Structure 1
Amino acid sequence: MDKLRKEAREALVQSPGKMPIGFFPAVAAASKSDLHQLWQNVAAYDHSTHLNICESLVTATSYIDYWDGTLPNDQGPRPLKPAEAKAVNNLFDWASAAALPSSDFAVDFDETAEISDDIIKAQNESQFRSELALELILVLNKPLAGLPNSKPENAADILLAGACFANKQNPWATSDSYNAASMLMNVWVQDTRRGNTFWPAIDFILRERIRPLFAKTKNPAITSAGRKNFHPQTLPRFGASDLDASPKPWKTTDVYVGAVLSWILSQYQPEDKTQFETHFQLFVPTILAMIDDNNLPFKTKGCILLTQLLQPIQESGSDILRRTNLTSVFEDAVTPCLLSLPSITSEDRSLDILGAAYPALLSTLKTAYKGPTQSERDKEAYTTSLAKILRSNLISSFHHVSSSTPASGSTASFPHPRLSTFLLEKITIITNELGIHTTKYLQELIPVLYTTLSNPFGTAHPPLLLAAAAATQAVIKNAHPRIWRWRGEILSGLSSCWLHIAEDSGGSVAELAKLKRELQQTLQVLKLVLLNPVAIAADGPEPEQVQVKENVEKEFQELVEADAELKGLFV
């Protein structure tokens, strides 16, 4: 065993960060020692340094690669002795713990932290340890057949380790660790589901591994059972915990928690309704803690997890959100995130948090109010909430980040075009959800669309104009009974945008061509609406509507005659 260790160490020193393979001493070690002796050797070793941990991981992996666990004459796997079985379980435990990402990745979730060369080195070492540990877990499947029932005692911790690397976007994941985790999880999820041990393992992870990390992060809005607290105690607005992150190990040491929760939530199928409802109360405090945190990366992750949490409710038809009265709690938690705007928040960070918060809020409302048993009261609550988002958040945020209500004689500007584009895209979504109720908000919506479409510098960022054209189409379709009153502003915006495209000689030809097609389509939708007036009252369309219908072609022709360049728009 000592010779195997020596060669493993030499290989690690010669090629740092690369998995050593093909150790001849492993053959001798495997023939002279049993699994119990292997574990004794690993357990007694000093693991205070990165190199020593890697040495033990490589030693154990190489040993098991050459270990023969079959009976003579190919009679199947050899049952392990009690000491060997315990050694295998201990190795699973140790490797699962070694695979977990280190606390050095906490800086990736801290907006104020500076990532030094030492931290980068520590992160690289953690990634390599994880790769080696996952490889060891994979090869430990070899002696698994010799265990009682062919099952380890610690399936939960093995799943926990694999779940950390189930998403290659996580900062600690590498191609090797992701691939190893994918192979591991494919096998283990199938085996544990088949053996009815999957959900007990998930329950153990949630109760014994994740919940303790949030024990000191209290939320007065919910009870200990994960329900709405109708008599919450007001906590100090600012306290020591705001400055001290030590009571929050999920932020400082166990930063992989969000990744594990995300993987677990992705495992629920509609037929797993009972298991999901049992675990629901375990998710709520952790997700709310992240959303309420003062760090935007954690807020963002919390909103993403909330959207994931609501998906099984929708798919299974569960009424647990209604039973726990948590709709308003989720709304109150997410809504402040919508205020993360420039200049206090950078445009990139704003796009991250808003890109998670708006879907989370809309998903909350849909889950609460758009179920198969939707009542009139639910419809009214849904419409009221959507209108609030549109007016208090989307339109006001658009005005905040884009000076779209310029002083007389000046031109609207869009210093944050990507964010303005994003807000217009969300306006389109909310407008489609509001349907005919969009009519009530035309006075606020049309100026937003007009100032964007008519901006002379809009072609510098075509996605902004594309989003404005799409939003205009949505408004026309959903507010069609009253859109005739605003045809002048809409026609002016579309015409101005078309002319600015004609004047632009330096933009992307493909993008501008796509924009022109979108403008043409928007105009055709407007024309269709104007030619088909809808009666608001029982006695038919208003006289003005009929007059507009009769003059549509004439009005369009007058615009073309005023500027021949518009002929392409009105074809």
Structure 2
Amino acid sequence: MAQATTAHANGFEDTLKELEVPAEFAEYETTENADVIVRLEEWRRKAYVVLDELRTQLAAKQDTLTLEERADVISTAAQFDGEGFWVLDTTTELAREILNTYNISDIILVERVLSHHIKPIFQKNPHPDVNPETGRKSTRSAAQLDYYEGQEWKRYPGILNVLSWCVRHIEGTNYERLWHLVIPPAMTLLDDYEARYKIPGVRVISEMLDRVPPELLRRTGIDGLILASLQGCFTSLRKPETPTLLRLTIPTCVKLVEATTAPKSAQRFEQLCAVLGDGIIGSVWFYSTSEPESLAATLDMLPTVVRALGLGVARYLKAMIPQLTYPLVTAPDNTTSTSVQLASAKALRVVIAVCAPRMQRWKGDILNGVCRCWVTLVESGASDNLPAQKEKLELRNILREVCQDLAHACPSVVQDEFTRLSTAKPSLFSALVGPLGKESEDG
């Protein structure tokens, strides 16, 4: 009987070992070795079968699993609960089914995963600005070069999803207890020199901010450390991952600032200004004029920062209005896509609403861009491509809404500029500045 039990245990352990994500997946996107690619593809397909076998084994011994075994199962299954080249929709669904059988609020279990499966992997490369024993900001930084040497943790690509799973399942009151286990690996990801690791780092920080007590962030000095690291993400430009990184970083910055500063305080205003002025305008817009996807990412996320700053954003109108109206103006040297024009127009609506008292000065620049874009859309006519036609129709509607917003911000524009436009070319501009409402699908 003892022999049978041992064999069963060995089978369980062997199954877990089979599901360890191969280190080669870390270089899957760049490898040109056909043999490696084929082997990884086979592993990815087989993973579902092995995961299903694990589910069967767990059903037979679930009630007898020790804490250590449950942590082993979670650290294995959680590798498939997230993003990665080793993940398929089917394996994610199965992994979540396995994970959902556990008490996700069991702090002892989460602590075991962090301390025995995550900490040993990251502790070989301690973050230079974080005390690994307390999770507090370190008073003495380690050598940066030593920090980047080796980086053994990159040989465990699945561990990124495991860390994310843990962070999502820590209740706010338990962060104090697990702080020294969460912050070191999270900051290691966030401050890595490769954008592809910064992305999961920002995700983990964003997930943590949903639950962590703001006082803990401030008391340990980690709030300033995270903000500085997030601002550093704005300089990670001209990389394939840059647009994704920006879409994650901008709202996470706002979330952090709003969590750790008092409403209407000078500190909140200054930190949000740094995000907009130094990060978006001073870094991305200044250095990535030829990177449309990166620009589009900032345009999509811009409303989040503008709403957080409120009327204080008026100090940046001199930089923002030209940037938001330029994509609308069709010119030989301007090949802006319709999607970027849409993002610009939507962001423009928020800027007009938030900075209404300052719009009188900028109404001419805004109308110039909107009218030029409108003329181009009308003259281009219908498109045989249905998605493109829907995108153009949406842009026409947004342009009309920009005019409506401008009329609310500057009532005089209705009698002055709008009247002149409608009188000069009623067939062209009446639909833009006349009675404003949604166009029909017939356009």
User: What's 2:329 paired with?
Assistant: 454
1:382 aligns with 2:268: yes
Mapped to 1, the partners of 2:207 and 2:224 lie a distance apart of 18
Partner SS, residue 26 of structure 2: helix
**Structure 1 vs Structure 2 CA RMSD:** 2.5
Q: Does the CA contact (< 8 Å) of 2:243 and 2:294 recur in 1?
A: yes
User: What's 1:44 paired with?
Assistant: none
Note the 1:87-486 alignment, pairs <5 A.
87-108=7-28, 113-127=30-44, 130-144=47-61, 150-152=64-66, 154-167=69-82, 169-187=83-101, 189-190=102-103, 198-224=106-132, 225-229=134-138, 231-233=139-141, 235-236=143-144, 239=145, 242=148, 244-245=149-150, 248-252=151-155, 254-268=156-170, 272-313=171-212, 317=213, 319-342=215-238, 345=239, 348-369=240-261, 374=262, 379-396=265-282, 397-402=284-289, 415-456=290-331, 461-486=337-362
Question: Residue 420 of structure 2: which of 555, 558, 563 is its match?
Answer: 558
Pick closer, same or farther for the CA change 1:142–1:356 going to 2, 3 Å. closer
Count of matched residue positions in the alignment of Structure 1 and Structure 2: 425
Mapped to 2, the partners of 1:322 and 1:429 lie a distance apart of 23
* Offset at residue 506 of structure 1 (A): 6.6
Pick closer, same or farther for the CA change 1:523–1:129 going to 2, 3 Å. closer
* Offset at residue 240 of structure 1 (A): 6.2
Pick closer, same or farther for the CA change 1:441–1:173 going to 2, 3 Å. closer
Note the 1:24-63 alignment, pairs <5 A.
36-37=3-4
Pick closer, same or farther for the CA change 1:423–1:274 going to 2, 3 Å. closer
Mapped to 2, the partners of 1:218 and 1:141 lie a distance apart of 35
* Offset at residue 262 of structure 1 (A): 1.2
Mapped to 1, the partners of 2:345 and 2:14 lie a distance apart of 58
Pick closer, same or farther for the CA change 1:515–1:204 going to 2, 3 Å. same
User: What's 1:15 paired with?
Assistant: none
* Offset at residue 203 of structure 1 (A): 0.9
Pick closer, same or farther for the CA change 1:222–1:460 going to 2, 3 Å. closer
Pick closer, same or farther for the CA change 1:436–1:320 going to 2, 3 Å. same
Q: Does the CA contact (< 8 Å) of 1:383 and 1:434 recur in 2?
A: yes
Question: Residue 367 of structure 2: which of 464, 468, 491 is its match?
Answer: 491
Structure 1 stretches lacking a partner, 5+ long: 1-33, 38-83, 403-414, 532-548
Whichever residue aligns with residue 251 of structure 1, its letter is: K
Mapped to 2, the partners of 1:433 and 1:375 lie a distance apart of 10
How does the TM-score come out when normalised to structure 1?
0.69
Mapped to 2, the partners of 1:482 and 1:461 lie a distance apart of 29
Q: Does the CA contact (< 8 Å) of 1:227 and 1:325 recur in 2?
A: yes
Pick closer, same or farther for the CA change 1:473–1:220 going to 2, 3 Å. same
Partner SS, residue 101 of structure 1: coil
Whichever residue aligns with residue 351 of structure 1, its letter is: P
Mapped to 2, the partners of 1:474 and 1:522 lie a distance apart of 9
Pick closer, same or farther for the CA change 1:90–1:381 going to 2, 3 Å. same
User: What's 1:407 paired with?
Assistant: none
User: What's 2:378 paired with?
Assistant: 502
Q: Does the CA contact (< 8 Å) of 1:293 and 1:299 recur in 2?
A: yes
Bigger relative CO (Cα 8 Å, ≥ 6 apart): 2
Q: Name the % identity.
A: 22
Mapped to 2, the partners of 1:320 and 1:116 lie a distance apart of 47
* Offset at residue 332 of structure 1 (A): 1.5
